Amino acid sequence: MLREIRPAIIVLLVLTLITGLAYPLAMTAIAGVIFPKQAAGSLIERDGKVVGSALIGQEFKGDGYFHGRPSATVAPDPNDSTKTVPAPYNAANSGGSNLGPTSKALSDRLKEDVDRLKAENPSQPVPIDLVTTSGSGLDPDISPEAAMFQVPRVAKARNVPEDRLRALIAEKTAGRLAGILGEPRVNVLALNLALDLAASK
Amino acid sequence: MTVIGWIQIFLYCAIVIALVKPLGGYMTRVFNGERTFLSPLLRPVEAGIYWIGGVDEKREQHWLTYTVAMLLFHVGGFVIIYALMRLQALLPFNPAGQSAVAEDLSFNTAISFITNTNWQNYGGESTLSYLVQMLGLTHQNFLSAATGIALAVALIRGFSRSSMRTIGNFWIDATRCTLYVLLPICVVYTLFLVWQGIPQTLGAYVDATTLEGANQTIAVGPVASQIAIKMLGTNGGGFFNANAAHPFENPTALSNFVQMISIFALGAALTNVFGRMVGNQKQGWAILAVMGVLFIAGVAVAYWAEANGTTMLSSLGLTGGNMEGKEVRFGIAASSLFAVITTAASCGAVNAMHDSFTALGGMIPLINMQLGEIIIGGVGAGLYGMLLFVVLAIFVAGLMVGRTPEYVGKKIEAREVKMAMLAILVLPLMYLGWTAVAVVLPSAVASMANSGPHGFTEVLYAFTSATGNNGSAFGGLTGNTFFYNLTLASSMFVGRFFMIVPAMALAGSLAGKKSIPPSAGTLPTTGGLFVGLVVGVILIIGGLTFFPALALGPIVEHLAMNANTLF
């Protein structure tokens, strides 16, 4: 048995260096050359400033922007480091609400959001993704229905015809891959950037 | 449920099955020590490792030596992770300035990664430096997976060899698995993932100014290289807190689909390695069939439950299934499928929050883990777990007809059945025992995020996941407390090693037996009768063990959910 001690130390160290340093560092170097944009986090710049990542959702509150899904992410409470406070779309601390199917807290939150959205647009049923939080709290997408639902509000705030917004949503809607994988979706940041671009023209 | 949803599920199964033979053939060559197409490149590295490590390629090991070598390997891995976490503030590659991790959390995490569990009591992006993620966690993702596969191959040799004292050499099996199987696939896989959008950088977290003028700090890092092995090695520990639900770990429907395939690929192929090594590939297909039956049943229930949603949602006029905790790009079908896959294998990555699943949708992952993660299972661990149940099923069949049972030419006798029972019984002892302790300790109850039966399920899920070395969670439970850090670590440790050591003892005792040719009285182990028998034994043993606990958690919650009783 004693002769197993040398390999236990040396084989472990060599394999650790190969898989724990050589492999990730080599992959970082290669990926940085072949796919520099993705490797850095798919960042989007506007007027030379980073406004976010194409893959990471961000919070929109104003009436003139399309809103993403509610987010359950939190941040440490500045007054008491053992507690947390809500911080929607905190991209340095991902997470979901973890509320279960019989949770009163979830039921109360849903009721409040559904009532608010019904008041905003009574003509359509409330899309479920607009009131449920995502698993990551950073979901960049909403369903096409959820985008269409917000058209009256955005049109009023920006004073543009609703049809133009509907056309913009249709243009920014991504379908299923090969018609099979995933779900139809609209990237909220991309949609809002296009909205700003159209307004500046 | 939709037709497109089911097409995704069947397409997934078809691709996994198509990969079984080619991967199985390649892995068989690797573990038989034969040349492969990568040998010109990798053989010098391999020989170099043996040379400086003092490994004699011609010397094989007795099962006890093999097991001791494996345990020593784990002790070293534990020391490396623990030291790195405690010292990370002093070490390089720490642009976010993470401080030293607390003792109990470091202990829990080190145990978690050497046991291939990857339970996350830490939030990756808010706790760990890049160096710890790479040198601590990525390396152990490789080595714990390689160890699992090596052990499965050793057990297979037990079945395939006749009257021999040795079952292979651990150092050679672990090294060859890492170099020839895991690394080459991960190199290609990492590049694919970066192409899909996963970051791979050593740069600092990015500060962005959102369109509305707020500040958003975006965590990045060397993510893709870790995700590749996290999935392929059924490890499951995420770079980020939200795991594969995070858009940087799983950006597209395609990355999600490929990640699901990679979770099952090696585990499914090992059934073929088994078939080839015992000289009849049909033996491997029969085992895969047992796994397939249980898998499809689980997918059907979970998908149905999530697509149906809850009374809470329908009473508010919300339709389209239970989207709380799920991502739009995956939807109901791919989220339900992922949940069943990740718990059938002992992966534990999640692309949706299991805590927010419906009562029955969350029960299926729980059952998968409680059955011992034998449906494909963790790489290696799933196969040896399944073979333990096979030994038991063969024994039951032998009792029914009154003959000494035999399997692939080996007589199954008292010692084998004892070892199999020991391994199978120790798992419920841990997860039921610790759950019982936790629900009477006020400080442990305080960790629950949900009240009522759901809170109980959170605790049961945590200990089941830890014992099964899965690592997925009902994430609402605050696991980073002294009590849970230590008790979960003990579950992970016992769940891994009290299964491995009996399995290796079984390998040693089988290898020493003579192979006997099948006779007229031998139960054929390649047909439907055998598949049905094993499925039956798994469900009866499993069901009797954990049904009472399920009745207190998800089953009672399902009734409450339908009545819209809230807690």
- A32 and A104 inside one domain: no
Q: Report whether B255 contacts B197 (CB < 8 A).
A: yes
Backbone angles phi, psi at A45, to 5 degrees: -110, 145
Judge whether residue B30 has pLDDT over 70: yes
Cβ of B139 and A15 within 8 Å?
A: yes
Task: Please report where in the chains the tokens 């809002």 appear, as a residue.
Answer: A192
The model's confidence at residue A82, banded by pLDDT at 50, 70 and 90, is confident
pLDDT digits 0-9 by tens, B52-83: 999 999 999 999 999 999 999 999 999 999 99
Number of domains in chain A: 2
Whether A25 and A123 share a structural domain: no
Q: What is the pLDDT of residue B97?
A: 84
Q: How far is B320 from chain A (nearest CA, A)?
A: 7
State the nearest Cα–Cα gap between A168 and chain B, in angstroms. 18
Contacts of B312 in chain A (CB under 8 A): 101-102, 106-107, 110
Do the beta carbons of residue A83 and residue B434 sit within 8 Å? no
Residue A189 and residue A91 share a domain: yes
What is the pLDDT, as a whole number, of residue B238? 83
**Residue B521: what pLDDT?**
78
pLDDT digits (tens, 9 = 90+) for A2-26: 788 899 999 999 999 999 999 999 9
Domain match, A24 and A105 both: no
Q: How far apart are alpha carbons B397 and B273 in whole angstroms? A: 25
Q: Which of B52, B139, B329 sits opposite A10 (nearest CB)?
A: B52
CA-based nearest residue in chain B for residue A181: B253
What is the value of pTM for the model shown?
0.95
A156 lies in which domain range?
42-200
- Closest-CA distance, B71 to chain A, in angstroms, reads 9
- Specify the residue for token string 């339900």: B336
Q: What is the largest CA-CA distance in chain B?
A: 80
Answer whether B142 sits within 8 Å of A38, measured CB to CB: no
CB contact under 8 A, B475 and A96: yes
Average pLDDT over residues B198-207: 95
- Mean pLDDT for the stretch of residues B397-422: 89
How far, in Å, CA of B238 to CA of B485, rounded?
Answer: 18
Contacts of B134 in chain A (CB under 8 A): 20-21, 24-25
Cross-chain Cβ contact B210/A101 below 8 Å: no
What pLDDT is stored for residue B14 in this prediction?
97
| Mean pLDDT, chain B, integer | 93
Question: What is the reported pLDDT for B136?
Answer: 87
Contact list in A for residue B102 (CB cut-off 8 A) is: none
Q: Is the pLDDT of residue B123 over 90?
A: no
Residue B126: which pLDDT band, with cuts at 50, 70 and 90?
A: confident
User: Predicted confidence band at B92 (pLDDT cuts at 50, 70, 90)?
Assistant: confident
Residues A70 and A13 in one domain: no
Instruction: Please state, in angstroms and rounded to a whole number, the distance separating the CA atoms of residues B308 and B316.
Output: 14
How many other CB atoms are found less than 10 A from the CB of residue B279? 12
pLDDT of amino acid A37: 96
Same-domain status, A18 and A55: no
Are the Cβ atoms of B49 and A14 closer than 8 angstroms?
Answer: yes
Cβ of B353: how many Cβ atoms within 10 Å? 34
Average pLDDT over residues B128-137: 89
Across A30-34, B94-98, B526-530, B537-541, which has the greatest mean pLDDT?
A: A30-34
> Residue B184 — very low, low, confident or very high, per pLDDT cuts 50/70/90?
very high
Lowest model confidence (mean pLDDT) among A136-145, B33-42, B49-58, B401-410: B401-410
Backbone angles phi, psi at A85, to 5 degrees: -125, 150
**How many helices and strands, by DSSP H and E, does chain B display?**
22, 4
Q: How far is CA B473 from CA B128, B354, B431, B476, in A?
A: 20, 7, 14, 8
What is the least distance, in Å, from the CA of B430 to any CA of chain A? 25
What's the alpha-carbon Rg for chain B, to the nearest Å? Answer: 23
The sign of the torsion formed by the CA atoms of B115, B121, B123, B126 equals negative
Q: Which chain B residues are Cβ-neighbours of A50 within 8 angstroms?
A: 206-209
CA proximity to B362, closest of B453, B429, B449, B288: B453
Domain identity same for A69 and A104: yes
- The C-alpha of A94 sits at a distance from chain B's nearest C-alpha, in angstroms, of 5
- Over range B324-347, report the average pLDDT: 95
| Integer Cα distance of B109 and A102 in angstroms | 31
Range from A39-43, A104-108, B515-519, B520-524 carrying the lowest mean pLDDT: B520-524
Rounded to the nearest integer, the mean pLDDT of chain A is 94
Which residue is closest to B70 within chain A, CA to CA? A8
A29 and A76 part of one domain: no
- Clarify whether residues A22 and A98 are in a common domain: no
- What mean pLDDT is predicted for residues A120-135? 96
The reply to whether residue B355 touches residue A98, judged by beta carbons under 8 angstroms, is yes
Q: Are A15 and A109 part of one and the same domain?
A: no
CB pairs under 8 A between A and B: 379
Asked if B211's CB is within 8 angstroms of A65's CB, the reply is yes
CB–CB contact B220 A41 (8 Å): yes
Write down the ipTM of this complex: 0.96
Q: What percent of chain B has pLDDT over 70?
A: 100
- Decide if A67 contacts A150 (C-beta within 8 A): yes
State the pLDDT confidence band at A1, using cuts at 50, 70 and 90: low
Q: Which of A50, A97, A143 is facing B208, going by the closest CB pair?
A: A50
Whether A26 and A77 map to the same domain: the answer is no
How many CA atoms within 13 Å lie on the side-chain side of A59? 18
Alpha carbon separation from A196 to A50, A139, B170, B373, B378 (Å, rounded): 16, 21, 61, 51, 49
Q: Mutate which of A2, A30, A98 to test chain B, going by most B C-beta atoms within 10 A?
A: A98
Same domain, A90 and A9: no
Beta bridge partners of A84: A76
| pLDDT the model gives residue B541 | 86
